[in-house]
Structures are given as structure tokens and as C-alpha cells.
Amino acid sequence: MKPVILDVDTGLDDACALLLAARHPELDLKAVTCVGGNVGIDDVVANTLTVLEAAGRADVPVARGAGLPLLQPMKAAPHVHGADGLGDLDWPRSTRTPVPGHAIELLRDVLRAAAASGELVTLIPLAPMTNIALLLRTYPDAAAGLREIVFMGGAAGIGNATASAEFNIWTDPEAAAITLTAAAELGIPVTMYGLDVFYDVVVSRERAQALSGSPAAELARKLIEKRSELYGDAGASIGDGGAVCAVIDPAGMTTQRFPLRVELAGSWSRGRTIVDTRDWTSDLNNDPHGQSTSIVDVVTTVDGGRYAELWLAAVEGA
């Protein structure tokens, strides 16, 4: 089993990711940390605990993290995820509470234990990377427990929050920039699962309607139906869930290594992930910025059908 931690701002697609991570037999979900993003932090925590309970994983520790971005106000997305972040489905709510302490303390403790045991953890941020930036700058020794970071965010092409920027990065661009810089300094491999593939793992509404028999399957069905309804389509992407698929089954994706920066200024481009596709083996000495120190694996294609079946098998088997 592959040890993983998810960092989430649980809306509809984070819920798809949580169901997969909680139920897939090849993943050992060590912890889940919460950050404000799609909705406010109180709703994120409540949604996360609720999804894990539906998945039968009340054993997984959940911690409350940063409620706001590092520098700017938070702008939630109720138009995408509903007022409560779970599509206002009226799903029975968990009565659990998060563990004491801040999310970065839970991350620190789990990763230090992983470093001591040699069983390194894959960290999967599916949200603004505020918690991750705080962790790597406050407790850099915790990086010794990380195998890699696979984050959902950014894009080599167009954005969705703006024409330039993807929502997770746009919500806290400083945190994303700090995380990438710290990862480069600490030698942490990074993979970017961005908008270029985000919409490619689609579950049809017809296929989802066959899901039943357990709370996890029932919730999975409702999530796909709600996302299908939202976009007026015959199916829905599992969104963030695709990044978890990529960790389980990396053979289902292709990647290319590119230097990466986050734009922190610019009237129209703040929060853009600048994927530098130029050939740095040629003469680029005239670029005053030089090459970014953050060299990441950018996911360029995924086998959407393969990942959709992977997700369905996990939630159906719950």
C-alpha cells in the first residue's frame, strides 16, 4: 500500500478524490488536512468528515488548517459547489470533530514518523497550498518523510478562475510559489496535475446511476449527478479525483519535465503557472530571469476512460 495524505478544500470534486483515496485498496490514507478555498474552512472540515464517514473511514485523522490565503482575501466558489460545498445535497452530516491542533502540526507529525520508519508519504494537495507552504517553511525537516508532492492546480494553457489562472493557484499564489521554491530547495519531487487534464476523467450520469449498496456508492452517485446537473452534461469529471488516480496508476498518464513559476503580479495574469516549454539546452542567456529552480513533472495527457473505471471500481467496491 502507498501511504498518502490529502490536503483539501472539500467541494464536490475533492469529495470524489476523498472517496477514492479512502476506499482504494492500494492506498493507505494517513491523514487529511483542510484549508479554506472552495468554501470557508468550517464547511471544508464538516464536508471532509462527512465524506470520510460515508466512506467508512472514521479512523482517518482530519485537521483544520489555514482559513485564509497568506496575503489576499478568500473568494469561495459557491456557484460551483453549492452554499455548503457539497452541492447542498442534504447528506447526513458527521458528528465527528477534527483532531486538536493545526493541520501543519498533523502533517509534521505524520511525516516525521514516516521519515523514521522509512515508509515515505505522497502528499496530494487538491486545494490552495497555504498549509503546504506553512509546513515546509515552519518544519522543513518534515520533508524527509515525503516521497513526492502531486498537486492539483495550475495549467500550461488557459485558466478557469481567470483567463490566466487556475482556481487553486489563483486563490493563494504566494503559497504556491513558496511551496514550489521550498520543494526545489528540499529535493522533493513535484508533479502538477493541472487544468490541461482536469476535465478528461468523465463518469457518465447513466453509469453513476447504477452506483448503490453502500453510503460511499450512494454519495458517489449523487456527486456525479450534481456535477452533471451543474454543467448540463450527460456526465461529469471527477476533477481532483484524477490526481489521486495518477498516484495510484501513473502508467495512465504522460508527463513532461518543465521549469515552473507562479506569476505573483500582473493585472491580468496573477496566479498563472508559467510552464516554460523552451529548450534550455540552447542559448537562452538573454533571459534576465534565468531558468526556474522548480523543475516539475507536468501531466500532459491522461487515459480518461482508464481513470474513470479505476474510480468507479473503488467506490462500487465500498
In words, the CATH class of domain 2-278+289-316 is alpha beta
Residue 97 confidence (pLDDT):
97
What per-residue confidence (pLDDT) applies to 318? Answer: 58
Amino acid in the structure at residue 286: N
What is the per-residue pLDDT for 78? 84
What integer pLDDT is reported at residue 245 of this predicted model? 98
299 and 253 in contact (C-beta within 8 Å)?
yes
Q: How far is CA 130 from CA 67, 144, 168, 176, 225, in A?
A: 9, 20, 10, 7, 31
Sheet bearing 121-125, strands edge to edge = 62-64, 27-34, 2-8, 121-125, 146-152, 190-193, 295-302, 253-262, 273-275
How far does CA 201 lie from the centroid of its chain?
Answer: 15
Q: For the chain, first and last CA: distance in Å?
A: 17
The pLDDT of residue 231 is: 78
Average pLDDT by consecutive 10-residue portion of the chain (318 residues)?
97 96 98 97 97 97 98 89 88 95 98 98 98 98 98 96 96 98 98 97 94 95 91 90 98 97 95 92 77 96 98 88
User: Cα–Cα distances in Å, from 284 out to 273, 274, 276, 280, 290?
Assistant: 20, 16, 12, 6, 8
The pLDDT of residue 73: 93
Q: What CA–CA distance (Å, rounded) separates 230 from 248?
A: 28
Residues 316, 20: contact at Cβ < 8 Å? no
CA distance 316 to 216: 8
Give the CA distances from residue 227 to residues 68, 201, 222, 236, 293, in Å, rounded to whole numbers and listed in that order. Answer: 26, 13, 9, 6, 38
Q: Which three cell numbers stand for residue 131?
A: 498549509
Q: How many CB atoms lie within 10 A of CB 271?
A: 27
If residue 273 lies in a helix (H) or strand (E), which one and from where to where? strand 273-275
Q: What is the distance between the alpha carbons of residues 155 and 94, in angstroms, rounded to a whole number?
A: 34
Give the DSSP per-residue string, 203-272: EEHHHHTT--SSHHHHHHHHHHHHHHHHHTSSEEE-TTHHHHHHHH-GGGEEEEEEEEEE----TTTTT-
For 56, which DSSP code?
T
Q: How far apart are CA 28 and CA 284, in angstroms?
A: 44
